[in-house]
Amino acid sequence: SQKIEQNSEALNIQEGKTATLTCNYTNYSPAYLQWYRQDPGRGPVFLLLIRENEKEKRKERLKVTFDTTLKQSLFHITASQPADSATYLCALDLLSGSARQLTFGSGTQLTVLP
């Protein structure tokens, strides 16, 4: 069956450390993989997109890797701050002809402790 798994429901780290979140998937062949941030009571906010032929993408303190052989993406936040505390969602971008479906994992809740 098809599955997207994100590591542990909650992750606590100390301010200034690097947070690493994992997204594993089975029986999918995504064209792209996306990461979103969601704060309580709000809609998800797009952070980064990485293509299947890209190994790594960076944006400021964020870094995403994508290994299509392992079927895994890692999402890193360096020099983490309490303001980074949120739920982070991994999403597989599935293309078939003109059809496009974005399928989400259940998210990892990150808390950065001051």
Partner 1 sequence: NAGVTQTPKFQVLKTGQSMTLQCAQDMNHEYMSWYRQDPGMGLRLIHYSVGAGITDQGEVPNGYNVSRSTTEDFPLRLLSAAPSQTSVYFCASSFAPGQGNYGYTFGSGTRLTVV
User: Which stretches of the chain bind partner 1, using CB under 8 A?
Assistant: 31-32, 34, 36, 41-49, 89, 93, 95, 98-107
| Residue number, 41 or 114, with CB nearest to partner 1 | 41
Q: How far is the CB of 75 from partner 1 (least distance, A)?
A: 14
For 8-30, b/e burial (b = at least 16 CB within 10 A) is eeebebeeeeebebbbbbeeeeb
Q: How far is the CB of 72 from partner 1 (least distance, A)?
A: 18
Write the burial class of residue 71 (CB in 10 Å: 0-12 exposed, 13-18 middle, 19+ buried).
middle
Q: How far is the CB of 4 from partner 1 (least distance, A)?
A: 8
